[in-house]
Amino acid sequence: MSTDTIISIRNLYKVFGNDPQKAMALVHQGMGKDELLERTGHVIGLNNVNLDMERHRIQVVMGLSGSGKSTLIRHINRLIAPTEGEILVDGQDVLTLNTEKLRELRRFKISMVFQRFALFPHRNIMENVGYGLENQGKTKKIIEETAARWIGRVGLSGFESHYPGQLSGGMQQRVGLARALATDADILLMDEAFSALDPLIRTEMQDILLDLQNELQKTIVFITHDLDEALHIGDSIAILRAGEIIQTDDPQNILMKPADAYVADFMKDINRARVLRVRAIMNTLEPGDEGPVIKGSTTIEEALQIFAETAGDKLIITDRKGLKVGRLTVEDLIRGIRRPTTAEIQAEVFTNET
Ligand SMILES: Nc1ncnc2c1ncn2[C@@H]1O[C@H](COP(=O)(O)OP(=O)(O)O)[C@@H](O)[C@H]1O
Ligand SMILES: [Mg+2]
């Protein structure tokens, strides 16, 4: 565990059914999800999941419906107990917490944003946002001041005395976000929080979240089945399939080096020019290299635009500190857009295994 890991999930298994322990023996012998279900009626929710999440980062967990995303995130605040394995939050094993400590964890350290908003229909917006603060035992004055501040922060000032039913879906989810942020918890769990929203509103919410995150530096566990969303907001993306993590990596690496054909297939419709950053494909700077200087975070699409507008045959890439670290030609950019072939992915998998 690196020093800035805040959530650590180790050898986590969750089996649903009458006798999970007995079914576990078969899972340890290597029986897969389909066979276990057929033979024993038990469902593998999670299968040996290992995942370290970094403090102040957005960890996306992505997978198709039924892959185990909700099961995984609910282990973090122990809404679900594992069949086997450990969940450490700030070094503390959540399974060892007594009722009192667990309540504290959920009130002060972790808050949650739900897909269907889960607002209280008979409480107005102010009272909804203040809910967590009430639970924390804050005074009325503090609750109102804090709630009003967060309502303002998500752009809903003036709606304090409205009721959830009077608000659009996007506005309700802003309330959900404000409620989660108001408690000042370090960790935010978001289970498909934007999935019920229309595409435009959804993108807007993603940007609101990224804006807030720039300022607040929370640790966010963000679940989605949407790849564009995952690539847009994730600092790291874990890909789940049938309860197993197939790959955990930063978005650039997932595109450049998919762990297997399944991941590559997932990525195949992505507009690589728009998502890939030049730092992921640049070559080492050579003496005498000259040309327009661009940041490593520039996308391939933007870099091509710069080539189109300038005369040179090279771009110079800088790192976060502004140091010149790499170079790119038009050919490099075009190569970056090309998807890895099946043979390349297999070769990569092979070298990883040996
Ligand atoms: N309480 C439960 N009882 C039995 N099976 C469950 C239960 N909860 C989840 N599952 C199963 O576990 C798997 C993972 O579910 P879930 O975590 O909800 O997936 P996701 O959130 O990725 O759609 C699915 O096969 C689902 O049917
Ligand atoms: Mg789910």
Residue 102 is classified by DSSP as H
Q: How far apart are CA 311 and CA 315, in angstroms?
A: 11
Residue 82, ligand 1, Cβ within 6 A = no
Q: How far apart are CA 241 and CA 188, in angstroms?
A: 23
Residue type, 120: F
Query: Residue 107: exposed, middle, or buried by beta-carbon count in 10 A (0-12, 13-18, 19+)?
Result: middle
Residue 83, ligand 1, Cβ within 6 A = no
Q: Which residues fall within 8 angstroms of residue 322, CB to CB, at 6 or more apart?
A: none
Q: Which ligand is nearest to the CA of 65?
A: 1
Q: Which ligand is nearest to the CA of 45?
A: 1
Neighbours of 78 (CB within 10 A): 17
Cα dist. 227→81, 234, 263, 266, 311 in Å?
28, 10, 11, 8, 36
Give pLDDT, residue 3: 63
In the chain, domain spans: 5-249, 272-337
Give pLDDT, residue 351: 55
Q: Enter the pTM of the model.
A: 0.91
**Within 13 Å, how many C-alpha atoms sit on residue 271's CB side?**
9
Q: How far apart are CA 163 and CA 152, in angstroms?
A: 16
Give pLDDT, residue 40: 95
Instruction: Output the six-digit token pair for 200.
Output: 């435009």
Residue 20, ligand 1, Cβ within 6 A = no
Supply the residue whose CA is at minimum distance from atom 7 of ligand 1.
Answer: 16
* Cα–Cα–Cα angle for 95, 185, 225, rounded to 5 degrees: 75
Residue 42, ligand 1, Cβ within 6 A = no
Q: Which residue among 35, 67, 80, 190 has the greatest number of ligand 1 atoms within 8 angstroms of its CB, and so is best to mutate?
A: 67
Give pLDDT, residue 342: 80
Residue 63, ligand 1, Cβ within 6 A = yes
**From the CA of 251, how far away is ligand 1's center (Å)?**
26
Per-residue model confidence as pLDDT tens digits over 320-347: 999 999 999 999 999 999 888 888 887 7
Q: Which atom of ligand 1 is nearest to the CA of 45?
A: 12
Q: Which ligand is nearest to the CA of 63?
A: 1
For the domain 272-337, what is the CATH code?
3.90.1280.20
Per-residue model confidence as pLDDT tens digits over 223-259: 999 999 999 999 999 999 999 999 999 999 999 999 9
Residue 43, ligand 1, Cβ within 6 A = yes
5-249: CATH topology is Rossmann fold (3.40.50)
Q: Which atom of ligand 1 is nearest to the CA of 43?
A: 5
Same fold, 5-249 and 272-337: no
Q: How far apart are CA 97 and CA 93, in angstroms?
A: 7
Q: How far apart are CA 326 and CA 323, in angstroms?
A: 9
**From the CA of 149, how far away is ligand 1's center (Å)?**
37
Ranges of residues in the chain whose predicted pLDDT is under 50: 1, 353-354
Q: What is the mean pLDDT of the chain?
A: 93
Q: How far apart are CA 324 and CA 224, in angstroms?
A: 36
Q: Which ligand is nearest to the CA of 74?
A: 1
Q: How far apart are CA 41 and CA 51, in angstroms?
A: 28
Supply the residue whose CA is at minimum distance from atom 12 of ligand 1.
Answer: 45
Give pLDDT, residue 172: 95
